[in-house]
Chains A and B, each alone.
Chain A
Amino acid sequence: MIAQLKAELLKVRSTRTTLGLFAGMIGLTLLIVLLTGLLTHHDGLTSRHDQRGLFAPGAVALIFSGLAGLLLVTSEYRYGTIRPTFLFTPRRADVLSAKLTAGLLAGLVFGAVSVGLAVGIGSLILSARGIGSALSGGDFALIVFGGLAGIALLGAFGVGLGAILRNQVGAVIALLSWEFVVNSLLFGLAPSVGRFMPTPAADALMGLKTTHLLPPAAGGAVLLAWTAVLALAGLALTLRRDVT
């Protein structure tokens, strides 16, 4: 299991895929924090709610972390490396649990960098514009630790979804349309159901207080449940299906 995890982490580091996603996430996070911080009117940045929105990196890091996890599995099917992988480790549960762990670890790195960037640069912008902080220590703790946990979980979530779908293009489309279409539509039209979707749950975990969002602990539990369900379904299918 440890040996397999080392193999999976080397797979992540030895292509440019994850690095590219990482760079994309940094770029978009910076863009959003800078645009929000610099272009928003002074009065729109003073409240606790406004500043939480500025510091919480939100959907960008979640999506990139989910994509990174997704590609850990689907690129193996796309390029056929799943065959040598399973030939070397025929106990497929070992492979999938190593990938889930690698997805969590990659997500943790994504989370640390994106939360660090958003909080760091957001704070610099606020102080440069002479706006005092409205956030308590507890608010910061939720943004930092809730953000880290949520973004890391999305990495494992992506691994589970990838193991279920296997087809890389299909899985990427599924993840993006889930995020941008299903999540938004459902949260917009039926928030009492939509708030149980992964992204609103992750937002809740970071302490965001948009109307209808769950409390942080409940959001965390819902996101964990989503991740566990996808991981277990992915595992069951991986054990059962033939590799062609």
Chain B
Amino acid sequence: MTAVVAESLTKRFGSVLAVDDLSFTLEPGTITGFLGPNGAGKTTTLRMLLGLAAPTSGRSLVLGKPYAELERAALSVGAVLEATDFHPGRSGRDHLRTLGRAVGLPDSRADDVLRAVELHEAGKRRVKGYSLGMRQRLGLAGALLGDPELLILDEPANGLDPEGVRWLRDFLRAFASQGRTVLVSSHVLAEVAQTVDQVLIITHGRLVVESSLPQLTSRVGGTVRVRTPNPDQLQAALRREHLDATCDHQTLLVRGADTDRVGEIAFAAGVPIHELLTEGSSLEDIFLELTSEPSS
């Protein structure tokens, strides 16, 4: 069964078309990045998927049903929409207990998920004393409470320090490796580029890209950075393959090819390589290029 299906989802606020005829499907066991600049309609889409907002037209299915019709929804879907959805005067553990009670989970589940997000020591303290990173993790703990097979997170990396981002990345990888599905939104491609299998990019409420991450990179032609002791030899080999490369000391920047292709050309030419990678900034360029202008 597909994990999520959106069929022509549309949401209009007055004269503003926040989400415009959005359709996509998510297969189980994948991590999907849901990307777009702020105000592109990501959160509105997630709200519609989760039954918090009614679409103007279109519909969505989560694990085969409209979210509101799922039996004990929290046992199959975990979601976090805002990092700050806590009563400041309630302890983290009590927050989780109140959620767990609603679906008949024992209090011990609250302790389990607190441990899973490394908050067990702070669990008894009131949330008002938590850092933003701790709040993000408490929100995640709430989503994990029902041991769901689908996780939907809106901007989970917002406000996390680099260590927190890495923790989140490892966590999502481990979650998906168990055959579970993740949909994670972000306005920064680089934040999720190392985590996701595929991306949905929306801008002005419309889907502009639905592809795997390598496809995205090759499609637009990213920049590959390659360091070699024989840059002239490699540059010549690349030229023979009609690839343009600029040279700076021992480093070549290659446009219009991915790392696989550049590596193979170097191998065929017998040029040793000391470093070979896709430039992070080029991915970000792709993203900006795709989202800065509405597709027509």
Which residues on the B side are within 8 Å of A17 (C-beta)? 89
Contact code string A177-194 (vs B, CB < 8 Å = 1, else 0) = 000000000000000000
Contact code string B80-110 (vs A, CB < 8 Å = 1, else 0) = 0110111111110011011101111000000
Which residues on the A side are within 8 Å of B22 (C-beta)? none
Check A6–B101 contact: CB distance below 8 A: yes
**Cα-based distance from A79 to B84 in the complex (angstroms):** 8
Q: Knowing A75-B87, A90-B67 touch, does A83 contact B52 (C-beta < 8 A)?
A: yes
What 10 A-B pairs have minimum CB-CB distances, sorted nearest first?
A80-B85, A14-B94, A7-B101, A242-B53, A7-B102, A90-B68, A243-B52, A15-B89, A88-B74, A6-B101
Q: Does A41 contact B (CB under 8 A)?
A: no
Which residues on the A side are within 8 Å of B97 (C-beta)? 10, 14
Which residues on the B side are within 8 Å of A83 (C-beta)? 52, 81-82, 85
Contact code string B106-141 (vs A, CB < 8 Å = 1, else 0) = 000000000000000000000000000000000000
Check A90–B73 contact: CB distance below 8 A: yes
Check A242–B102 contact: CB distance below 8 A: no
List 12 additional contacts besides A81-B87, A88-B146, A242-B53; criterion CB under 8 Å: A3-B102, A11-B90, A15-B90, A83-B52, A84-B142, A85-B99, A88-B74, A88-B99, A90-B50, A242-B54, A243-B53, A244-B53
Which residues on the B side are within 8 Å of A3 (C-beta)? 101-104
Which residues on the A side are within 8 Å of B90 (C-beta)? 11, 14-15
Task: Please pick, from B53, B85, B98, the residue contacting A7 in the complex, using a CB distance under 8 A.
Answer: B98
List which B29-75 residues lie within 8 A (CB) of chain A.
Answer: 47, 50-54, 67-70, 73-74
**Cα-based distance from A79 to B86 in the complex (angstroms):** 6
Check B87–A90 contact: CB distance below 8 A: no
Closest Cβ of chain A: how far from B127's Cβ, in Å? 9
List which A119-150 residues lie within 8 A (CB) of chain B.
Answer: none
Contact code string B248-265 (vs A, CB < 8 Å = 1, else 0) = 000000000000000000
A-B contacts, 8 of them at CB < 8 A, read: A14-B90, A14-B94, A84-B85, A88-B102, A90-B68, A242-B47, A243-B52, A243-B53
**Cα-based distance from A80 to B50 in the complex (angstroms):** 15
Which residues on the B side are within 8 Å of A16 (C-beta)? 89
Q: Does A36 contact B (CB under 8 A)?
A: no
Closest Cβ of chain A: how far from B39's Cβ, in Å? 14
Check B85–A89 contact: CB distance below 8 A: no
Q: Does B79 contact A (CB under 8 A)?
A: yes
Check B70–A90 contact: CB distance below 8 A: yes
Q: Knowing A14-B97, A87-B73 touch, does A80 contact B84 (C-beta < 8 A)?
A: yes
Closest to B68 in A: A90
Q: Knowing A10-B94, A83-B85, A243-B53 touch, does A91 contact B68 (C-beta < 8 A)?
A: yes
Check A85–B102 contact: CB distance below 8 A: yes
**Cα-based distance from A85 to B146 in the complex (angstroms):** 13
List which B216-246 residues lie within 8 A (CB) of chain A.
Answer: none
Which residues on the B side are within 8 Å of A11 (C-beta)? 87, 90, 98
**Cα-based distance from A86 to B70 in the complex (angstroms):** 12
Which residues on the A side are within 8 Å of B73 (C-beta)? 87-90
Closest Cβ of chain A: how far from B198's Cβ, in Å? 24
Check A86–B51 contact: CB distance below 8 A: yes
**Cα-based distance from A244 to B81 in the complex (angstroms):** 10
Closest Cβ of chain A: how far from B222's Cβ, in Å? 37
Closest Cβ of chain B: how far from A178's Cβ, in Å? 26
Task: Please pick, from A14, A89, A91, A242, the residue contacting B52 in the complex, using a CB distance under 8 A.
Answer: A242
Which residues on the A side are within 8 Å of B146 (C-beta)? 88
List which A8-61 residues lie within 8 A (CB) of chain B.
Answer: 10-11, 14-17
**Cα-based distance from A243 to B86 in the complex (angstroms):** 16
Task: Please pick, from A15, A87, A242, the residue contacting B87 in the complex, using a CB distance under 8 A.
Answer: A15
Check B52–A86 contact: CB distance below 8 A: yes
Q: Knowing A87-B79, A242-B54, A243-B47 touch, does A79 contact B87 (C-beta < 8 A)?
A: yes
**Cα-based distance from A83 to B52 in the complex (angstroms):** 8
Which residues on the B side are within 8 Å of A6 (C-beta)? 101-102
**Cα-based distance from A178 to B267 in the complex (angstroms):** 82
Which residues on the B side are within 8 Å of A15 (C-beta)? 87, 89-90
Closest Cβ of chain A: how far from B53's Cβ, in Å? 4
Which residues on the A side are within 8 Å of B101 (C-beta)? 3-4, 6-7, 10
**Cα-based distance from A242 to B54 in the complex (angstroms):** 6
